[in-house]
Amino acid sequence: SHELTQPPSVSVSPGQTARITCSGDALPKEYAYWYQQRPGQAPVLVIYEDTERPSGIPERFSGSTSGTRVTLTISGVQAEDEADYYCLSADSSGTSWVFGGGTKLTVL
């Protein structure tokens, strides 16, 4: 079955760089998407198609890919970036989608 694996938690101090990874066998062939979810709110798309940033998302958010792993990088982390982050991708058929388990980003 199609699965995406994320670390449960990442902690960084303000101003540092946070890197959140997502691993899956289909990722070399399928795009990944990243969502930020603050408590009690709906998710927000922060990266699409591995590396693209939607309008309105700060430049400190970026995405990269290498083989079966994609990475969300947040440079110069701010307190407001504390949230849960989820990756999303499709299986190799493109008809079944799955979210990673989510990573809780804590800003110390």
Binding site for other proteins (CB under 8 A): 1, 31-33, 35, 37, 42-45, 48-49, 54, 84, 86, 88-90, 95-102
Q: Tell me, rounded to whole angstroms, the distance of Cα 81 from its chain centroid.
A: 12
Nearer to other proteins, 13 or 42 (CB): 42
The CB-of-34 to other proteins minimum distance in angstroms stands at 10
d(CA 68, CA 12): 25
Query: What does the buried/exposed string (b/e) look like for 50-85 if buried means 16 or more CB atoms within 10 Å of the residue's CB?
Result: beebeeebeeebbbebeeeebbbebeebeeebbbbb
Nearer to other proteins, 69 or 84 (CB): 84
The CB-of-45 to other proteins minimum distance in angstroms stands at 5
The CB-of-96 to other proteins minimum distance in angstroms stands at 7
Nearer to other proteins, 25 or 49 (CB): 49
